[in-house]
Amino acid sequence: MPSYDVMPDVQLFQPAEVDDALNLVDQYGKDGWILGGGQDTYGWLKDRAKHPTALIDLNGIEALHGIRETVDGIEIGATTTLREIIASPLINRDFELLVRAASRVASPQIRNVGTLGGNVSQDARCWYYRRGLACYRAGGNICYADSPQGMNREHALFDASRCVAISPSDTATALVALEATMIARSVNGSRNIAAEDFFVGPATHITNMTSLESDEILTAVQIPSRWAGSRFYFEKVADRDVWDFALVSIAVVMKMDGDTIAKSRFVCGGVACTPYRLLDVEKAARGKTLSDESGDAIAALASQGAKPLNYNHFKIPLMENLVRRAMRG
């Protein structure tokens, strides 16, 4: 009988250079586990639900850390902590939406060590999956949450395909709204992935939450200047003000033309397996002023196409009310 009072036997690598980390990831493949802040990692290992051969700790790689201004925006290293993002004058000046989202992640203690790369790369939080049951996401042939007796209060309204787990990242919604680009590297080179394509649903890949391959590392996140200084709105509804994941959240960017909305991006969290763009809301918001009347006129568009499960119908009015609040200005 294995002991659950100690961590399992696993090799730990702490490379100081990106190339060394890439070689390790290439060597171990799916048997390697990339370690950022560790807030998601250690729970998996303690519960014996994941069994990596090697941990590859990226925190000693200086090139993966820090916030840099670029010709067309900013670049944030993947191991930059959420606390550093919240405190950054540069991000506060131009992209406060990301600051607001990062400020709602878990607790101050977790934000002190949790990294941006780790927050966007964390695995699904469905309790059936986390307990090691053989659900679709774990390679089985059933979704326990989407069954007649399943408990699915926190699960998806949209885009479910077998698995109904939601994307748990608070910063993901802000990054999709800001049209960020995720930089992934492997020994074979690098590729740029639009944030909207970085997060994948079960119809694309049933066992992965992101489009990262097993030999790739997320090295940085780039945010373009096109939304710098826009009007931003972020709100997260959770059972508790700290620690909890979102029941529903919303991240909004708006470019104003005088008193009216010229263009916008509305993204919801907690309602789909990926950050969920409210495309109909964005179209309807164009040309409208920020007012209660405008919010009432377009709020119902947020939930069109929703397919609630047994216990998550309450998310529909939550979505609509968050759109109303964003439109109040």
Can you give the CATH number for the domain in which 23 is found? 3.30.43.10
- Looking at the fold, whether 217 and 179 belong to one and the same domain comes out as yes
Amino acid at 178: L
- Looking at the fold, whether 223 and 320 belong to one and the same domain comes out as yes
- Looking at the fold, whether 224 and 105 belong to one and the same domain comes out as yes
Which residue in this structure is represented by tokens 């960017």? 253
CA-based nearest residue to 215, from 80, 25, 12 = 25
- Looking at the fold, whether 112 and 27 belong to one and the same domain comes out as no
- Looking at the fold, whether 236 and 276 belong to one and the same domain comes out as yes
- Looking at the fold, whether 68 and 42 belong to one and the same domain comes out as no
Residue 45 domain boundaries: 11-60
pLDDT the model gives residue 47: 72
pLDDT the model gives residue 181: 98
The structure tokens listed for 198 are 């970085």
- Looking at the fold, whether 28 and 108 belong to one and the same domain comes out as no
pLDDT the model gives residue 34: 95
CA-based nearest residue to 58, from 11, 25, 83 = 25
* Distance (Å) of CA 105 to CA 24, 99, 108, 305: 30, 10, 8, 28
Q: How far apart are CA 263 and CA 269, in angstroms?
A: 20
- Looking at the fold, whether 55 and 67 belong to one and the same domain comes out as no
Q: Within a domain: residue 159?
A: no
- Looking at the fold, whether 302 and 177 belong to one and the same domain comes out as yes
- Each residue of 103-132: b (16+ CB within 10 Å) or e? bbbbeeebbeebbbbbbbbbbbebebbbee
pLDDT the model gives residue 218: 98
pLDDT the model gives residue 51: 86
- Looking at the fold, whether 31 and 74 belong to one and the same domain comes out as no
Mean pLDDT for back-to-back runs of 10 residues, the chain (329 residues): 65 97 96 90 78 94 98 98 98 98 95 96 93 92 95 97 96 98 98 98 95 97 98 97 92 97 98 98 98 98 97 98 95
pLDDT the model gives residue 2: 54
The structure tokens listed for 277 are 């763009």
